């Protein structure tokens, strides 16, 4: 037995391949890794102690590949491309995965997604060993317990790799990170390897869509549902219909979409897509501020949340689709000068909606989150965007996942928080001012010093709670109506005008 046998046995044990496939797979791996005899490999390579720890098993093969000049260095880009290619050999073909999924879904859609999620982990497409590095906690706020995460799962590129990236010719293939052509893609310095990516075919609104899991999941079964056509994001009646149609089959998942405009949208606006999964977000537990019974079939709730959210509830999905369309049209044209809400400037639209849908028994729910991306000289990143006094914690856009109460904070915070703790415990703010990593946090540190009696035992909980409170305020910054009464009045007036047109 040697290190090549270890990866083959891992694949058999985890049902990626059958025992009958062993020799074929062994020979394909030997060719990839430039091994002349797969049964005779130098014993200098230390075998993984835990044969089911895919990272440990792959690391030994990376060392072998480097010695055999398969890769010229062990920077993260090259090793990711190689270990993905290794797993591509072991991962079932797309047609096999699709057939297995379809067979299981006839009995239970949950069994089908369980199979596909497990496959995505075992094939190392979802890199769980990296995801486990993320730091997570809950923080008590006025909106209940928000979930705070510091994202450490995406590895930083080696400076040499970044330099080489500039010299790579643009091929335009795949067109973007979400295009169907990513399935099986070999990877370059500019585009990640996707040899072990598998997707599931779907039909939504009579069109072809695909489902995959995110390689760096932020929550349980974090899924991406994307159009087979490369086309821009668009929120319209078809979006609302697609979301609810998805729930008719995947009733154990939620599904939502980022807006279709910058700043308040997602990171990829060029390819129409949604996000789904099996997870209970803080928003799901939020209380109701006020209920409007629109008719016997449909109710509209104002949710008690730092952003402005209308929740439509009905057993009849068409009631929700029709009302969602009317609210979207109304909001897109809504202006309120006294509240700095402008739907358009210089023919550039600013009002948009983030829709989120779920099933609760026989009822469909559609959350419509009101967003606006206008910028000013005082707020160049966005009036309804995290304000500058919170940029030391969160400066990036607030998208779908964070709207629902799950903060995704940058990795830089890990080192910065350690420094904040050090200077606070030593009561040395003056020294902190000289540190580039820490200086941005000075106002926050002074606030904590005046607010708490800090010691070694309570500092960690204070920091975590304070970050949670800042994230709550970040969400408030993104809310277009700052006062509940203003939002209630807006909703009441909107429903009245919609009724008049009906």
DSSP code string of 93-140: PHHHHHHHHHHHHHH-HHHHHHHHHHHHHHTTSS-HHHHTTSEEEEEE
Question: In whole angstroms, what is the distance from residue 365 CA to residue 327 CA?
Answer: 15
What's this model's pTM, rounded to 2 decimal places? 0.94
Q: Going by C-beta distance under 8 Å and a sequence separation of 6 or more, which residues neighbour residue 112?
A: 101, 102, 104, 105
Ranges of each domain in the chain:
3-70
* 347-362 per-position pLDDT tens digit: 999 999 999 999 999 9
* 235-256 per-position pLDDT tens digit: 999 999 999 999 999 999 999 9
Q: Going by C-beta distance under 8 Å and a sequence separation of 6 or more, which residues neighbour residue 469?
A: 139, 141
Cα angle: 165, vertex 167, 170; to 5 degrees: 85
Cα angle: 384, vertex 357, 365; to 5 degrees: 105
> Which pLDDT band, with edges at 50, 70 and 90, does 330 fall under?
very high
Q: Going by C-beta distance under 8 Å and a sequence separation of 6 or more, which residues neighbour residue 99?
A: none
What percent of the chain is modeled with pLDDT above 70? Answer: 97
CA proximity to 106, closest of 254, 249, 251: 249
CA proximity to 205, closest of 250, 256, 240: 240
CA proximity to 482, closest of 372, 377, 408, 343: 372
CA proximity to 471, closest of 376, 417, 396: 396
* 143-191 per-position pLDDT tens digit: 999 999 999 987 665 555 555 555 667 788 999 999 999 999 999 988 9
Question: In whole angstroms, what is the distance from residue 306 CA to residue 415 CA?
Answer: 29
Helix axes 76-90, 3-13, angle to 10 degrees: 60
């Amino acid at each position: 037995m040697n290190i090549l046998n270890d990866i083959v046995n891992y694949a058999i044990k985890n049902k990626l391949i059958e025992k009958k496939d062993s020799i074929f797979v062994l020979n394909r791996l030997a060719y990839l890794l430039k091994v002349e005899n797969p049964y005779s490999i130098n014993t200098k390579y230390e075998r993984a102690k835990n044969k089911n720890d895919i990272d440990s098993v792959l690391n030994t093969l990376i060392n072998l590949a480097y010695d055999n000049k398969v890769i010229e260095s062990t920077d993260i880009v090259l090793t990711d491309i190689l270990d993905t290619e290794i797993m591509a050999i072991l991962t079932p073909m797309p047609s096999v995965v699709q057939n297995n999924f379809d067979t299981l879904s006839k009995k239970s859609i949950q069994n089908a997604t369980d199979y596909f999620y497990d496959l995505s982990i075992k094939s190392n497409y979802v890199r769980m060993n990296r995801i486990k590095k993320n730091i997570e906690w809950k923080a008590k706020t006025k909106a209940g317990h928000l979930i705070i995460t510091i994202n450490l799962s995406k590895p930083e590129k080696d400076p040499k790799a970044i330099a080489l990236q500039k010299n790579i010719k643009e091929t335009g293939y795949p067109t973007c990170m979400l295009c169907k052509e990513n399935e099986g893609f070999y990877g370059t310095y500019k585009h990640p390897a996707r040899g072990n990516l598998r997707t599931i075919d779907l039909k939504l609104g009579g069109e072809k869509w695909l489902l995959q899991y995110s390689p760096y999941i932020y929550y349980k079964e974090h899924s991406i549902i994307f159009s087979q056509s490369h086309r821009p994001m668009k929120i319209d009646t078809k979006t609302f219909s697609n979301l609810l149609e998805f729930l008719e089959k995947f009733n154990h998942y939620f599904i939502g979409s980022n807006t279709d405009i910058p700043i308040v949208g997602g990171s990829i606006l060029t390819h129409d897509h949604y996000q789904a999964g099996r997870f209970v977000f803080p928003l799901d537990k939020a209380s109701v501020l006020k209920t409007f019974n629109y008719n016997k079939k449909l109710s509209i709730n104002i949710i008690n949340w730092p952003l402005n959210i209308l929740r439509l509830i009905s057993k009849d999905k068409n009631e929700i689709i029709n009302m969602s369309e009317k609210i979207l049209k109304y909001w897109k044209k809504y202006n309120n000068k006294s509240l700095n809400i402008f739907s358009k400037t210089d023919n550039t639209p600013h009002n948009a909606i983030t829709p989120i849908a779920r099933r609760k028994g026989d009822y469909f729910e559609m959350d419509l989150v009101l967003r606006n991306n206008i910028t000013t000289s005082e707020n160049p990143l966005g009036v309804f965007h995290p304000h500058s006094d919170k940029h030391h914690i969160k400066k990036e856009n607030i998208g779908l996942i964070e709207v629902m109460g799950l903060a995704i904070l940058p990795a830089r915070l890990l080192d910065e928080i350690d420094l904040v703790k050090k200077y606070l415990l030593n009561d040395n703010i003056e020294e902190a001012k000289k540190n580039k990593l820490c200086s941005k946090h000075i106002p926050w540190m002074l606030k904590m010093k005046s607010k708490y009696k800090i010691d070694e035992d309570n500092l960690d909980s204070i920091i975590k709670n304070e970050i949670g409170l800042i994230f709550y305020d970040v969400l408030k910054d993104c809310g277009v109506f700052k006062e509940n009464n203003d939002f209630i009045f807006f909703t009441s007036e909107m429903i009245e005008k919609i009724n008049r047109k009906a």
